[in-house]
């Protein structure tokens, strides 16, 4: 488990933009589970010791010596955890602050919303009347995946870590049922009880024993998009579990891994679909926003403690 003591805040001189560069001020910083892999080397490029961490950031152009950007533009990019930094403009994506609140571009209209849509539609292939289970259901990806499942006509059941999140899923995000994996005495039995017809789609955000329990309840020809395995990200030793391949064979299951970086060409079209559903009120979303640059480590660690509902974001004042 990452600790606050793994992080250090340093004060440096303000950077100055040279010809062809822009000076950026960070406004919203995304903290994400995958950053854990940049600390332990499983998700290259890794974070270097005593260098700034980095993630997707929405920044304001506060000074421009680059003709493609003007002062006041908002941009999104994978940037360093710094209040200010310079960029030569490469890989900066302009963001329209009139279309949606800026923070939305880190969540429902950003990587997590896109992941929910593409992993579910491409691999989960939801059909009307089917039953879908989502783990990590109250998080950034899970809240959107479940709602898309409902739009597609599925019964949707979530797995979360608190009773408050169960209530949130049912009242705000349209989930039909949900279970608390921390208090359910037997997750496999709880899924069987809530899904007596069996599970057709398992949207997996967490891996580990929770996934073993859901996979034991799959129907023939079930589909399992594996978006993430957060329950393993802090593992020091390799975990073992039940042998699942016999179930894969005898139930004709499809299990497919997914990485959003593989689908960049589809981002504009899928973002437009998600924005349209938001506007029509067909989907909604939550953001947990902590304020202050010094909250970055706590926000990141909070992902592994479940302190977020929806997308975890830090606003830089």
Residues making contact with ligand NAP (CB under 6 A): 32-34, 111-112, 115, 136, 138-142, 160-162, 165, 205-206, 210, 227-231, 258-260, 303-304, 306, 308, 312
Q: In angstroms, rounded to a whole number, what is the distance separating the alpha carbons of residues 152 and 232?
A: 30
- CA gyration radius, the chain: 20
Q: Which is nearer to ligand NAP, 47 or 304 (CB)?
A: 304
- The residue (of 87 and 113) whose beta carbon lies closer to ligand NAP is 113
- HSE, side-chain direction, 13 A CA sphere, residue 129: 0
**75 or 119: whose CB is closer to ligand NAP?**
119
Query: Based on the number of CB atoms within 10 Å of its own CB, is 198 exposed (0-12), middle (13-18) or buried (19 or more)?
Result: middle
Give me the least distance between CB of 19 and ligand NAP, in Å please.
37
3-class SS of residue 209:
helix
**CA-CA-CA-CA torsion for 131, 211, 206, 173, nearest 10 degrees?**
20
Q: How far is the CB of 67 from ligand NAP (least distance, A)?
A: 34
* 254-257/287-291 β-pairing: unpaired
- The least CB distance from residue 229 to ligand NAP, in Å, is 6
Per the CB < 8 A criterion, the answer to whether 215 and 144 are in contact is: no
User: CB of 55: closest distance to ligand NAP in angstroms?
Assistant: 11
Closer residue to ligand NAP (CB): 54 or 61: 54
Question: In the block, which residue shows the tokens 């600390």?
Answer: 39
Of 162 and 219, the one with the shorter C-beta distance to ligand NAP is 162
Smallest distance, ligand NAP to C-beta of residue 99, A: 22
């Amino acid at each position: 488990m990452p600790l606050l003591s793994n992080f250090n805040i340093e004060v440096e001189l303000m950077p100055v933009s040279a010809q062809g560069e822009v000076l950026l001020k960070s406004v919203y910083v995304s903290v994400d589970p995958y950053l854990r892999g940049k600390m332990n080397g499983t998700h290259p490029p890794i974070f270097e010791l005593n260098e700034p961490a980095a993630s997707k950031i929405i920044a304001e152009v506060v000074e421009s010596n680059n003709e493609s950007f003007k002062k006041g533009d908002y941009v999104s990019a994978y940037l360093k955890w710094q209040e200010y930094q310079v960029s030569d403009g490469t890989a900066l994506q302009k963001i329209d602050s009139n279309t949606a609140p800026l923070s939305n571009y880190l969540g429902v209209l950003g990587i997590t919303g896109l992941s929910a849509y593409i992993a579910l539609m491409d691999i989960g292939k939801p059909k009307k009347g089917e039953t879908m289970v989502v783990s990590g259901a109250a998080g950034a990806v899970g809240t959107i995946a479940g709602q898309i499942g409902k739009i597609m006509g599925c019964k949707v059941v979530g797995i979360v870590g608190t009773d408050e999140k169960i209530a949130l899923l049912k009242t705000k995000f349209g989930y039909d049922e949900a279970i608390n994996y921390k208090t359910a005495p037997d997750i496999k039995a709880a899924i069987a009880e809530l899904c007596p017809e069996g599970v057709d789609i398992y949207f997996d955000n967490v891996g580990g024993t929770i996934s073993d329990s859901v996979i034991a309840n799959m129907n023939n020809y079930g589909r399992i998009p594996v978006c993430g395995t957060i329950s393993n990200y802090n593992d020091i030793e390799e975990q073992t579990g039940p042998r699942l391949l016999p179930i894969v064979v005898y139930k004709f299951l499809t299990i497919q891994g997914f990485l959003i970086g593989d689908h960049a060409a589809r981002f504009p079209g899928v973002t437009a679909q998600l924005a349209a559903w938001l506007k029509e009120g067909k989907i909604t979303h939550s953001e947990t926003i902590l304020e202050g640059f010094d909250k970055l480590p706590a926000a990141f660690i909070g992902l592994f403690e479940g302190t977020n509902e929806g997308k975890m974001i830090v606003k830089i004042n």
